[in-house]
A and B are shown apart, each in its own frame.
Chain A
Amino acid sequence: MGTLVEIRNVSKVYERGKQKVEVLRHIDLDIAQGDFLALMGPSGSGKTTLLNLIGGLDSPTQGQISVGGTRIDNLNQGALAKWRASNVGFIFQFYNLLPMLSAQKNVELPLLLTKLGAAQRKKNAAIALQLVGLADRAGHKPTELSGGQQQRVAIARAIVSDPTLLVCDEPTGDLDRQSAEDVLGLLQTLNRQHGKTIVMVTHDPKAAEYASHTLHLDKGTLVEQAAHA
């Protein structure tokens, strides 16, 4: 299987007032197409920063990042936004659904950036909701859904525009065990049956077990690689 994400000598330095904090140091990493990678490590180790760089939410201070053959480290803000819209799906710890929109309308959001008409957007959103098992909750607002259901709506939103890459930041961090297992099972299905490449940041070793392998970060450096069955 080919490489989807290529990271070469990437460093990231944040400026906090007068202080410079080096969050990532000379990272080299390849993520294969169709991989399900878990990123683990203590708080402040740079997991989320690495995830943000892979997802095109942030740019590295140094180094190169290519996703699907596109160098994203030197794209400007506008080009990066366009690239994200068609290539990446995002799943957050706190779901980040828009509270005033129904599940259906939340899922439709990424499709507003496409040329699809209203009817097609609605149809695609309905398919995505069906895929996550929430077809019957399409008209519900986020506050009318449980945490697990909200996260599944967020997953539907992430996959509705059929991106190659899904980046998940602690997707089960706010869920009870059962809901967490449902969400992780769903991610695994998306990876295994639909070929989505997934990069997931997690603190939870049990969550990491759903990934095909795990990388550990410590003080901005990759320290260990573990493969799962």
Chain B
Amino acid sequence: MKYLHLIWAALFRRKTRTILTLVSIVAAFLLFGLLDAVRVSFAEAGQSANGAERLQTGAKLSFIQPLPQSLMTRIATIDGVKEVAHANWFGGAYQDPHNQIFTFAVSDNYLDIYPEVSVDAGEMKAYNDDLNGILAGEVLIKKYGWKIGDKIPLQSQIFPNKEGSKNWSFNLRGVMKAKDDKAFQSQMIILHWKNFDETTPYNRGNVGWYISRVKDVNDADRVAKAIDALSANSDHETKTQTEQAATRNWIKQLANIGLIVTSIMGAVFFTLILLTGNTMMQAVRERTSELAVLKTIGFSNGSVLGMVLAESVLLLLLGGVIGLGLVAVISAGLPAMSGGMITTAAVSWKSWVLGVVLALAIGIVIGALPALRAMRLNIVDALAGR
């Protein structure tokens, strides 16, 4: 610790260069934190206490293949199933095709499966009484400034209505309030499956997937197998899995987020090692005579090695902590800034630990070469400028 002022002073010997290097480290760790938050968000999708009670049943072949609605009553009879609902993908865009909103056509008991989502009793009644009614997530309503009773035009990506147009119009009847602002339901719209099924010529008695709530979480595996057994060897074989696994598989079909994040971070940190390593080498080379003076005074080879290594580790730790700190601030402020449309997981302690370990490791890697050079410095040659 008594060398800390010496290490700090050496680090900021050339302030501009150190600050620029620090900025590049902060940027790298900011990117790491944000991408890691995205990875964690995807990894944790569907992971909740209630989510563990829910099973999702989709077509085994592909999640876009529909299932017969008649399966619902058969699933409900399976021992261990508390309740079963179904949903179809609608895929609505509001005003502009870029404003995509998760919109599902659902059975009337859909929200019974999701106790973490609440709707005012009056609004729920109004929704149930109006076949063309919809419920929208609280975050979504805030974002677009909708009011109860508004007519909401939505463009389906796939399904035309009776007139053959993909432009649908619905009546906003209520607000879905989720306990967690980041919950999926805060940002989605649900409409009556009956309305959807009767209106579009493309769907005749089919559903996209079933969601079952089990009585006992520990019984979920057996129930899942029993549900799949109902359709075994039929033309609509099913695959039942927990909500979390289903969400993961769905995301995997879109992209391997983990691999993408790891690849990007690998490239970023590799570049960081080259750039910062080069800067450290240059910084130590410039201080050859100063390091020789320290050795002349009596600093041991080990002390000099340790000081140069500590310098690079300190630089990386400083940049890493600032970068991750910024991610924490951004993660906290992003939902408010984006009207709730963009949410990322907060920086977890695991991310902090990983970040600090990465900073330490990179610090040691980039500091090793200049530190060894400083340690092996020949005093006489260095003082003579050789």
- B10 with A100: CB separation less than 8 A: yes
* Interfacial chain B residues near A82, Cβ < 8 Å: 298, 300
A109 to B307, CA, bound (A): 14
Asked if B270 is an interface residue, CB under 8 A from chain A, the answer is no
A191 to B299, CA, bound (A): 26
Contact A109/B297 with A99-B13, A100-B9, A100-B10 known, Cβ cut-off 8 Å: yes
Q: Kindly identify, within residues 101 to 129 of chain A, every residue whose CB is under 8 Å from any CB belonging to chain B.
A: 101, 105, 109-110, 112-113, 118
User: Which of A77, A96, A110, A157 contacts B290 (CB under 8 A)?
Assistant: A96
User: How many whole Å from A144's CB to the nearest CB in chain B?
Assistant: 15
Q: Kindly identify, within residues 328 to 386 of chain B, every residue whose CB is under 8 Å from any CB belonging to chain A.
A: 379-380, 383-384
Stretch at the interface among A1-9, A35-43, A84-92, A179-187: A84-92
A113 to B300, CA, bound (A): 9
A39 to B300, CA, bound (A): 29
A118 to B5, CA, bound (A): 12
A8 to B293, CA, bound (A): 28
* Interfacial chain A residues near B5, Cβ < 8 Å: 105
Asked if B279 is an interface residue, CB under 8 A from chain A, the answer is no
Contact A96/B9 with A90-B297, A110-B298, A112-B3 known, Cβ cut-off 8 Å: no
* Interfacial chain B residues near A84, Cβ < 8 Å: 296-298
- A81 with B289: CB separation less than 8 A: no
Asked if B82 is an interface residue, CB under 8 A from chain A, the answer is no
Contact A81/B13 with A57-B380, A112-B2 known, Cβ cut-off 8 Å: no
Q: Kindly identify, within residues 283 to 332 of chain B, every residue whose CB is under 8 Å from any CB belonging to chain A.
A: 289-290, 292-302
A118 to B299, CA, bound (A): 18
User: How many whole Å from A42's CB to the nearest CB in chain B?
Assistant: 17
Asked if A98 is an interface residue, CB under 8 A from chain B, the answer is yes
User: Which of B6, B298, B379 contacts A86 (CB under 8 A)?
Assistant: B298
User: How many whole Å from A147's CB to the nearest CB in chain B?
Assistant: 17
- A98 with B380: CB separation less than 8 A: no
Asked if A52 is an interface residue, CB under 8 A from chain B, the answer is yes
User: How many whole Å from B288's CB to the nearest CB in chain A?
Assistant: 11
User: How many whole Å from A155's CB to the nearest CB in chain B?
Assistant: 14
Asked if B12 is an interface residue, CB under 8 A from chain A, the answer is yes
* Interfacial chain A residues near B302, Cβ < 8 Å: 78
A77 to B301, CA, bound (A): 8
- Residues of A contacting B: mostly: helix
User: How many whole Å from A98's CB to the nearest CB in chain B?
Assistant: 5
A157 to B298, CA, bound (A): 12
Closest chain A residue to B287, Cβ basis: A98
* Interfacial chain B residues near A77, Cβ < 8 Å: 300-301
A77 to B375, CA, bound (A): 11
Asked if A58 is an interface residue, CB under 8 A from chain B, the answer is yes
Count class of interface residues, chain B: 20 to 34
User: Which of A57, A99, A109, A157 contacts B379 (CB under 8 A)?
Assistant: A57
User: How many whole Å from B315's CB to the nearest CB in chain A?
Assistant: 15
* Interfacial chain A residues near B299, Cβ < 8 Å: 81, 85, 113
Closest chain B residue to A101, Cβ basis: B9
- A52 with B380: CB separation less than 8 A: yes
A101 to B294, CA, bound (A): 13
A93 to B32, CA, bound (A): 49
A110 to B298, CA, bound (A): 7
Residue of A81, A109, A118 with most chain B CB atoms under a 10 A cut-off: A81
Closest chain A residue to B2, Cβ basis: A112
Closest chain B residue to A169, Cβ basis: B383
User: How many whole Å from A159's CB to the nearest CB in chain B?
Assistant: 12
User: How many whole Å from A52's CB to the nearest CB in chain B?
Assistant: 6
- B300 with A78: CB separation less than 8 A: yes
- A81 with B298: CB separation less than 8 A: yes
* Interfacial chain A residues near B13, Cβ < 8 Å: 99-100
User: How many whole Å from B162's CB to the nearest CB in chain A?
Assistant: 79
- A113 with B298: CB separation less than 8 A: yes
* Interfacial chain B residues near A81, Cβ < 8 Å: 295, 298-301
Contact A57/B294 with A96-B289, A100-B12, A112-B3 known, Cβ cut-off 8 Å: no
- B380 with A58: CB separation less than 8 A: yes
Closest chain A residue to B10, Cβ basis: A100
- A98 with B301: CB separation less than 8 A: no
Residue of B12, B298, B379, B383 with most chain A CB atoms under a 10 A cut-off: B298
Closest chain B residue to A93, Cβ basis: B383
User: How many whole Å from B14's CB to the nearest CB in chain A?
Assistant: 9
Point out residues on B near A: beta carbons under 8 Å.
2-3, 5-6, 9-10, 12-13, 289-290, 292-302, 379-380, 383-384
A-B contact pairs, 26 of them (CB 8 A): A55-B296, A57-B296, A57-B383, A58-B380, A78-B300, A78-B301, A81-B300, A81-B301, A82-B300, A84-B297, A85-B298, A85-B299, A90-B296, A92-B293, A92-B383, A96-B292, A96-B293, A98-B290, A99-B13, A100-B12, A101-B9, A109-B6, A110-B298, A112-B3, A113-B298, A157-B297
Other A-B contacts than A48-B384, A101-B6, 20 sampled, CB-CB below 8 A, are A57-B380, A58-B379, A77-B300, A81-B295, A81-B298, A81-B299, A81-B300, A84-B297, A84-B298, A85-B298, A90-B293, A90-B296, A92-B293, A96-B293, A98-B9, A98-B290, A101-B9, A105-B9, A109-B297, A112-B2
